[in-house]
Amino acid sequence: METTNAAAAQLNPAIVFEMLNAHQRTAALKAAIELDVFRAVGDGPGDAASIARHCAASERGIRILCDFLVIQGVLAKEDGRYRHTPSSAAFLDPRSPACLASIAQFLGNPGNREPFERLADVVRAGRTTLEGAGSVEPENPIWVQFAESMAPMMAPMAGPLGKVVLAGHSGAMKVLDIAAGHGLFGIEVAKQNPQAHVTGLDWAPVLRVALKNAQKAGVGDRYTMLPGSAFEV
């Protein structure tokens, strides 16, 4: 009996509330990125009034938003002024070379969240509630947004993965990058091997983003577009 009572005393509904309120954290972070809060905090002096002026927002709204971000551990607050945590300085301040703020555009896309609002229906039907093939409908514009906004998250991995792919291989080669997206992985192979010619396979609008990235990296002359669906390979 004592064991049962002890176990009951340890029960905590926190996980239920955390999961039901998780959307608040997503919305707050996305709003802060859209308002350019993290640049303003980095510029200083960090008081709500100066941040509000930078963001063209109300001081009250900025104070409430920043306080919420402090509670979540994204920002820090001392003597009424907000400052970066090591994580926000590295990954959310636009001036940081490791900034990941752009990924909010794709991960926070309303179209990506819509099926989760009807997840019970998705589970009942065993398929998406979106029209047609949903997110993999041919030429779906969200994948252009993916290619444009998600590259910063993948860039640090592209170099090491390129070395893994090329380990023990050199000289002239042809590389097929299936579902190329932003193209960073194929581009990295071309950068590390001057004799590699890369063909990116993806929908045409997405490949145009990859080609721009290849040209920016100086390997555009060795990057070929192959428009088509990676889901049909």
Domain ranges of the chain: 2-101, 148-232
pLDDT at 134: 79
Q: How many CA within 13 A on the CB side of residue 30?
A: 14
Rounded Cα distance between 127 and 223, Å, is 36
Global pTM reads: 0.79
pLDDT at 188: 95
pLDDT at 61: 98
Rounded Cα distance between 199 and 149, Å, is 21
CB 101 within 8 A of CB 33: yes
User: For the domain bounded by 2-101, which CATH number is listed?
Assistant: 1.10.10.10
Rounded Cα distance between 77 and 69, Å, is 10
Note down pLDDT in tens along the chain; length 233 residues.
566 666 666 889 999 999 999 999 999 999 999 999 999 999 999 999 999 999 999 999 999 999 999 999 999 999 999 999 999 999 999 999 999 999 998 988 888 888 888 999 999 999 888 887 778 887 888 899 999 999 888 899 999 999 999 998 989 999 999 999 999 999 999 999 999 999 999 999 999 999 999 999 999 999 999 998 765 55
Rounded Cα distance between 1 and 162, Å, is 60
CB atoms within 10 A of CB 158: 20
User: For the domain bounded by 148-232, which CATH number is listed?
Assistant: 3.40.50.150
pLDDT at 8: 63
pLDDT at 109: 87
Question: Residue for token digits 């972070």?
Answer: 29
